[in-house]
């Protein structure tokens, strides 16, 4: 076995072990999700997108514990993409419909987050009578608002990936 094969073998073993570990975490979250009657985002990674504290129709409260996997520099600054992702997740949970898809948003990052911060998100959804929703999301660290955003969502009849496949088949005819 040459050095490349040894490296690739180690990589493959590590990948398989990490995949199994991630799969177990996902399964744990799925159990939690069903207990809470969550209809959407049931396989999301809590470590990366946040944990649900509470929710009801039109409202969600979530938290994101920042970790080493999220930092971008030696100061412990958190990449804004993780904050955005956690806010997006809070918005989807506030809608809590099977086929909700976030289709847009206007966001502001008001202050930085750092390693080991606990960010709390509150999401309030509007327009419950239609398939479209607008969701206001605020993010706080120790009662200081660090994020604000307004997301637009749509509730589809089918999963978005199934919808695209059906549309493609119609276009082929």
Domain boundaries, the chain: 1-35, 39-172
CA distance 49 to 65: 9
Query: Residues 85-124: pLDDT tens digits?
Result: 999 999 999 988 778 888 999 999 999 999 999 999 999 9
CATH for the 39-172 domain, from 3.30.200.20, 1.10.8.420, 3.40.50.720, 3.10.129.10: 3.10.129.10
In 60-159, where does DSSP find H-type helix? 80-95
CA distance 45 to 18: 13
Residue-level pLDDT, tens digit, the chain, 173 residues: 444 444 445 545 554 555 455 444 444 444 344 345 865 656 667 877 788 898 888 999 999 999 999 999 999 999 999 999 999 999 999 988 778 888 999 999 999 999 999 999 999 998 767 788 899 999 999 999 999 999 999 877 777 777 765 554 544 45
pLDDT at 13: 58
pLDDT at 168: 43
Taking residue 92's Cβ as centre, other Cβ atoms within 10 Å add up to 26
């Amino acid at each position: 076995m040459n050095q490349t094969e040894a490296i690739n073998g180690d990589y493959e073993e590590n990948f398989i072990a990490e995949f199994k570990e991630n799969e177990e975490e996902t399964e744990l979250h799925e159990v939690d999700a069903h207990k809470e009657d969550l209809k959407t985002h049931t396989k999301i990674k809590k470590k990366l997108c946040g944990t649900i504290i509470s929710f009801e129709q039109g409202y969600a409260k979530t938290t994101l514990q920042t970790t080493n996997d999220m930092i971008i520099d030696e100061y412990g600054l958190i990449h804004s993409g993780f904050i955005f992702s956690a806010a997006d997740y809070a918005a989807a949970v506030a809608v809590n419909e099977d086929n909700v898809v976030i289709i847009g948003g206007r966001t502001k990052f008001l202050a930085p987050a750092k390693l080991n911060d606990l960010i709390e998100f509150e999401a309030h959804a509007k327009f419950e009578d239609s398939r479209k929703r607008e969701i206001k999301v605020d993010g706080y660290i120790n009662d200081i608002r660090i994020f604000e955003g307004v997301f637009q969502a749509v509730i589809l009849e089918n999963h978005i990936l199934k919808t695209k496949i059906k549309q493609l088949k119609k276009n082929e005819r």
